[in-house]
C-alpha cells in the first residue's frame, strides 16, 4: 500500500468512530431542527484532527523499512542502502543505525576485507563518485572527482563510478566507470587508493562485476556489464559469462569458465 493510501484509510477509520451505530448522526455536526441544516462543530473537528495526526505520526514511526538494497556483510554486521542513505545493523536482527545523512544518494556500500572501512558510491554535488568512511560511521572522504560524460546515462546503463569491491589488502577500492571509454556502452574497472590519488585502470580493457582470489593474483569477472537492464531471462549474444584473469602475468584465461545461453552474474571466490 502506498503512503497516501494508508493515510486516507487511517483517516477514514478514525472518522468512522464518531458515527452513530445506525449511521444517522455524527457528533462532528449539529442539526438545526428549524432549518433542517447541519452545522460544523469546530471544537470537535479540532479534536478529531489531533487524533488523526497523532495516529498518522504513530504509524510512520512504527512502519517497517522496505526496499533495502545493496547489502554487504562483514562478520556480524551488515551495511545496506535505504531511502538514499547507508544503514548499519546486526546480522542477527535488531535496530539499524543510519550512518550517512547527506541529501544526495549513497549506493553500493562495501566493507573492506579488514572491516575497518566502508566504500560506497555517493551522489554529492550532483555527480556520482567513490567515497570511503570508517565502518563505525564518520565523515566520508571523496576519492574520485569524475564529472561524468557530456550525455547523462539512462537507468539501464547504471551509474558512473559504481563501487564493486576492494583489493584483498584493503588498500584500494575497485569501481566501474566509463571514463576514457570510446563507447558509451562499455564500462571498465578502475582502482583508487584509500589515501587518494589518480584512479588506475585494471589490465582488462572492459568489464563488469568482479571478485579477487584470496591471494589477490587472479580475478573472476564479467566481461560485459548489463546488470541494470530491465528485461529478464535474456539468452542473446550479450548474455554475461564469467572469465578468469591472471593479474600477476597479465593474461586472460581466454575461454570463459561459464558459457551462454544463460547469463552468469555476480562472480565470487569463496
| φ, ψ of residue 172 in degrees (nearest 5) | -135, 150
Claim to verify: residue 104 and residue 178 sit in the same structural domain: yes
More confident residue, 185 or 49: 185
Burial of 132 (0-12, 13-18, 19+ CB in 10 A): buried
Claim to verify: residue 28 and residue 131 sit in the same structural domain: no
Claim to verify: residue 73 and residue 14 sit in the same structural domain: no
Residue 254 lies in a domain: no
> Is the model's pLDDT at 148 over the cut of 80?
no
- With bands split at pLDDT 50, 70 and 90, how would you rate the model's confidence at 157? low
**By residue range, what is the domain housing residue 88?**
69-202
Q: Write down the pLDDT at residue 139.
A: 93
Q: Per-residue pLDDT averaged across 20-28, rounded?
A: 45
> Is the model's pLDDT at 222 over the cut of 80?
yes
Q: Strand locations in the chain, DSSP E?
A: 29-32, 37-40, 69-74, 77-82, 85-90, 97-98, 106-111, 117-124, 127-134, 141-142, 162-166, 172-177, 188-193, 200-201, 210-212, 218-222, 242-246, 251-252
More confident residue, 54 or 129: 129
Claim to verify: residue 33 and residue 140 sit in the same structural domain: no
Claim to verify: residue 94 and residue 20 sit in the same structural domain: no
Q: What whole-number distance in Å separates Cα of residue 261 and Cα of residue 130?
A: 34
Q: How far is CA 42 from CA 2, 47, 181, in A?
A: 31, 9, 66
Q: What whole-number distance in Å separates Cα of residue 250 and Cα of residue 209?
A: 18
Claim to verify: residue 56 and residue 73 sit in the same structural domain: no
Q: Per-residue pLDDT averaged across 103-113, rounded?
A: 94
Report the mean per-residue pLDDT for the chain.
76
Claim to verify: residue 7 and residue 116 sit in the same structural domain: no
Claim to verify: residue 40 and residue 91 sit in the same structural domain: no
Claim to verify: residue 130 and residue 75 sit in the same structural domain: yes
- With bands split at pLDDT 50, 70 and 90, how would you rate the model's confidence at 156? low
Q: Write down the pLDDT at residue 133.
A: 97
Locate 124 and state its grid cell: 554529492
Q: Which of 202, 232, 258 is the last residue of a domain?
A: 202
Residue 190 lies in a domain: yes
Claim to verify: residue 54 and residue 73 sit in the same structural domain: no
Domain with residue 111: its CATH number is 2.120.10.30
Q: Write down the pLDDT at residue 17.
A: 37
% of the chain at pLDDT higher than 90: 41
More confident residue, 32 or 16: 32
Claim to verify: residue 114 and residue 43 sit in the same structural domain: no
Cβ atoms within 10 Å, residue 264: 15
Residue 252 lies in a domain: no
Q: Per-residue pLDDT averaged across 4-28, rounded?
A: 40
Count of the separate structural domains present in the chain: 2
Of 29-33, 105-109, 206-210, 249-253, the range with the lowest mean pLDDT is 29-33
Of 52-56, 65-69, 115-119, 233-237, the range with the lowest mean pLDDT is 52-56
Q: Write down the pLDDT at residue 63.
A: 54
Claim to verify: residue 24 and residue 50 sit in the same structural domain: yes
Cis link prior to 241 (omega < 30° from 0)?
Answer: no
Q: Write down the pLDDT at residue 142.
A: 96
Q: Per-residue pLDDT averaged across 30-52, rounded?
A: 43
Q: How far is CA 202 from CA 95, 158, 187, in A?
A: 39, 20, 12
Q: How many residues does the chain have?
A: 270
Q: Which residues of 222-231 are buried (b: 16+ CB within 10 A; e: fewer)?
A: bbbbbbeeee
Amino acid at each position: 500500500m502506498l503512503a497516501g493510501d494508508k493515510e486516507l484509510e487511517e483517516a477514514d477509520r478514525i472518522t468512522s468512530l464518531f458515527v452513530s451505530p445506525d449511521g444517522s448522526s455524527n457528533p462532528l455536526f449539529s442539526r438545526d431542527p428549524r432549518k433542517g441544516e447541519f452545522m460544523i462543530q469546530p471544537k470537535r473537528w479540532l479534536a478529531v484532527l489531533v487524533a488523526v495526526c497523532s495516529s498518522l505520526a504513530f504509524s510512520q514511526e512504527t512502519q517497517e523499512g522496505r526496499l533495502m538494497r545493496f547489502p554487504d556483510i562483514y562478520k556480524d554486521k551488515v551495511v545496506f542502502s535505504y531511502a538514499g542513505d547507508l544503514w548499519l545493523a546486526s546480522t542477527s536482527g535488531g535496530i539499524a543505525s543510519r550512518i550517512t545523512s547527506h541529501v544526495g544518494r549513497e549506493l553500493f556500500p562495501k566493507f573492506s576485507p579488514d572491516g575497518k572501512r566502508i566504500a560506497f558510491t555517493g551522489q554529492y554535488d550532483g555527480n556520482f563518485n567513490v567515497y570511503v568512511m570508517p565502518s563505525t560511521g564518520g565523515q566520508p572522504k571523496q576519492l574520485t572527482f569524475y564529472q561524468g560524460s557530456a550525455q547523462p546515462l539512462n537507468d539501464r546503463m547504471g551509474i558512473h563510478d559504481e563501487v564493486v569491491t576492494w583489493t584483498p589488502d584493503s588498500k584500494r577500492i575497485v569501481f566501474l566507470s566509463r571514463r576514457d571509454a570510446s563507447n558509451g556502452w562499455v564500462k571498465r574497472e578502475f582502482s583508487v587508493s584509500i589515501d587518494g590519488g589518480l584512479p588506475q585502470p585494471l589490465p582488462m580493457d572492459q568489464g563488469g562485476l568482479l571478485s579477487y582470489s584470496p591471494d589477490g593474483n587472479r580475478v573472476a569477472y564479467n566481461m560485459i556489464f548489463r546488470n541494470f537492464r530491465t528485461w529478464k531471462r535474456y539468452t542473446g549474444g550479450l548474455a554475461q559469462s564469467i572469465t578468469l584473469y591472471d593479474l600477476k602475468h597479465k593474461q586472460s584465461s581466454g575461454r570463459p569458465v561459464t558459457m551462454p545461453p544463460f547469463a552468469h552474474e555476480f562472480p565470487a571466490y569463496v
